[in-house]
Amino acid sequence: MNLEQAYAYLEDLKGRGFILGLDNIKNLMTALGRPDRSLKFIHVAGTNGKGSVCTYLASILGASGYRTGLYTSPSIFRFSERFRIGGEEIDDEQIAELLTQIRGAAEAEDIPITAFEAETALAVLYFHEMGCEFAVMEVGLGGTLDATNFIESPLISVITRIDLDHTDFLGTTLEEIASQKAGIIKKGAPVVSYFQKPEVAAVLEETARAMESDLRYLDPDSVIIKDSSAKGHVFDFEPYQDLRIRLAGSYQPYNASLAVLVIEKLQDLGIEISSDCVLQGLYEAEIEGRFQVLHENPLFIVDGAHNAQGVEGLVETIENLFGDQKLIFIFGTLRDKDFEKSIELTLPHSKFYITTRPDSDRALSSIDLKNRIIHHGGTAIAIGSMHAAIGLALRKAQPEDVILCFGSLYQVGEVLRYFQRHKEQQNMNREQENSLKPDQIIAELSALNIGSILIGEPLKNHTTFKIGGPCVAMVLPEDYEQAAEALRYLRDREVLHMVMGNGSNLLIKDSGYPGVIVKLGENLSKVRFEGTRIIAQAGAQLTKTSKAAIERSLEGMEFSSGIPGNIGGAITMNAGAYGGEIKDIVESVKVIDPNGQIVDILAEDMNFRYRNSRVQDEGLIVLEATFALKEGVPEQIQAKYQELSEARNSKQPLEYPSAGSIFKRPPGYFAGKLIDDAGLRGYRYKNAMVSEKHCGFIVAVGPSSYEEVSHVIEHVQQVVQEKFGVSLETEVRIIGE
């Protein structure tokens, strides 16, 4: 399976829902050859703090030189973040390869696994194959019947704070929930626990006695907090002085101290971990979405608090840091959370609320949440999308205000993406401010031997969407050296610039681009053949290159027929369709590196993965690619080409200008199907329209503009968010002021 097929497989498994019991995951581990037996497990359960404690532990073990795997849930920013080694996420190719193994093993043995069981197996198999010594595993739900509880003999079981949560699955009393969490306690394995309420402690102690396990609690009085701010804490925890952490929640010194207790237990077991590594690991630990400051003046903070106990800790942090100051809250929540309690806790600290809907089918609507806040005596505004909610909060806030977004882990990723885009825009603005004046740029470019120069060229003439205002200048180099020279000049003079091919994945604003375009198009579009190899320049169209190969009875490139774009873009994005990808046929790539030098890179060094490559990682500029094909049977090649062409023509609106598929595929969904199910097929604003053939495309059915297309994009995003709670991100590059 490729990555897209792997995600589709997980989505199919989600349809099975929850299957209680551990037989399937244990049978799957056996079918995979018991990869778990090479790992030493630290198993962490609880209601709140699991992710933080797991992160501290993995960071300390990593600082100590141990190769350590970290498995957490749910995804906040992207699926891959749940599987980390040394802070690095699993890459897309490994996800696809390992899920292929898991699917094969499950189907061969007829094991009806769920999505979470497949994901847990993915973590274990990944850690095993990457040679990890330790695996820090966070329980997904509960403990006793959670898929992670296949672990038979953990080094240590860890219990974080326990409170009421997931009462529809785990029980309605603290005792019932504690009993589920205590299910990770195993025969003879030591247990380290957060300080608990008496009824919870009684359950843990009874279970520990029955399993002959040593149980040790964190003593809260032994944690001496010396300094706190929105950027972290300094605290003592015997025998350590001045421990520093960068996670700001008021509960974080206690989570960190719990992790230190676990480390002490590991030291008792003979595992060497120095005091310096404890200090280093705690300080280096980072978690996205845990009281994370993203903006100043006004201060904007995002926190993943999503249940009553988490919000209690959040309110404690607010009181410690901001006293009586009233905050602007952005609040979204799931229907199965105790949101009434969250409202009661935060209301005394609120200036007003902006309610949103998280990206989950379990989400409470923003309007229903607004009405509940008003019922409690608060002031609230309902906004469908997180993007709009953040914009509204920033517009309404004064520089001294504090904006705090909380309520669901599912919305943290949206917030982080918003501020990442904001940061990129600020960087672009700074580049523009520091750049040379247009007349001076044009004069200096004209003095160089770098090919033709077009002044004030309308970019609508150079994009497949036929949309876009003018650029300052467009450089059309005639060979590789001219391209490299142009880019060296633009870089050295800090001139705002970008490289484009045939503009197939761009949406350029009507105001145009306030910099220089280096176009690797018609002048660098030659294709030549050397036996069964194709050497294609960056500006060559992918479809024409594929057809040329087919006409010579060369096999392997048929899948790319009809994919819009050129060779440079195909290499950059690892273009693919119908089961094939560019990485399957590339032999080497010639690029301009960030220093302006022309270098050749072998395919195995290109770090190809799902719709990504080393080109994007390092800012390389593709000049040409060499493809290794093989001789085939002409009739078979033509038949396959015809089949794929007909399939593409029937499903894609190739008769209209477009930028290809507009939206990224959200995890677990197909963007086009969501748009169709939302009733938006054929939705039109002036001359911009959601395609009736493929709802992932927005097409221009007549002379159109950025304003028209962006209107359709925003309308689609808003309706899909409101109907399904899913945020659609654009995958086309939007260029211009």
Query: Taking Cα atoms as reference points, which of 731, 726, 732 lies closest to residue 678?
Result: 726
- Residue 501 phi/psi, 5-degree rounding, is -105, -110
pLDDT in tens, 126-172: 999 999 999 999 998 777 888 999 998 999 999 999 887 655 556 66
pLDDT score for 384: 63
pLDDT of residue 578: 66
Q: What are the DSSP calls for 218-257, one per residue?
A: --GGGEEEEEEETTEEEEEETTEEEEEES--STTHHHHHH
Model confidence at 427: pLDDT above 70: no
- Shortest CA distance to 364 belongs to which of 332, 331, 387, 404? 332
> Residues 64, 250, 350, 661: which is the catalytic one?
661
pLDDT tens digits for 213-260? 999 999 999 999 998 888 789 999 989 999 999 888 788 999 999 999
Q: What pLDDT was estimated at residue 566? A: 87
350 is catalytic: no
For residue 98, how far is the Cα from the chain centroid? 19
User: Is pLDDT of 34 > 70?
Assistant: yes
| Residue 306 confidence class, pLDDT cut points 50, 70, 90 | confident
In this prediction, residue 231 carries a pLDDT of 79
Cα of first residue to Cα of last residue in the chain, in angstroms, is 40
451 SS3 class: coil
The CA dihedral of 239, 241, 246, 252, to the nearest 10 degrees, is: 50
Return the percent helix, strand and coil in the chain, to nearest 5. 45, 20, 35
Inter-residue contact 555 to 627 (CB < 8 Å): no
Q: Round to whole Å and give the CA distance between 47 and 311.
A: 12
From residue 195, how far is each of 46, 204, 267, 461 by CA, in Å?
A: 12, 11, 21, 67
**408 counts as catalytic:** no
Q: In whole angstroms, what is the distance from residue 139 CA to residue 184 CA?
A: 9
- Tokens for 528, please give them: 């030549």
Residue 385: strand, helix, or coil: coil
Which band of pLDDT confidence, cut at 50, 70 and 90, is reported for residue 737? low
Six-digit token pair at 482? 């001219």
The answer to whether residues 355 and 331 touch, using CB atoms and an 8 Å cutoff, is yes
Catalytic site residue 528? no
Where would I find the beta strands (DSSP E) of 165-231?
191-193, 215-217, 223-229
Render pLDDT for 99-127 as a digit per residue (tens, 0 to 9): 999 999 999 999 999 999 999 999 999 99
> Which residue has better confidence, 17 or 507?
507
Give the closest residue to 694 by CA, choosing from 675, 711, 678.
Answer: 675
Q: Which of 290, 611, 614, 665 is catalytic?
A: 611
Confidence of residue 425 (pLDDT cuts 50, 70, 90): low
pLDDT of 430 higher than 60: no
Determine how β-strand 292-295 pairs with β-strand 299-302.
antiparallel
CA 633-639-645 angle, to 5 degrees, is: 135
Tokens, residue 605: 């060094």
- Return the SS3 of 318: helix
Instruction: Answer yes or no: are the C-beta atoms of 6 and 94 closer than 8 Å.
Output: no
pLDDT by residue (tens digit) across 49-93?
A: 898 999 999 999 999 999 999 999 877 667 898 999 998 999 999
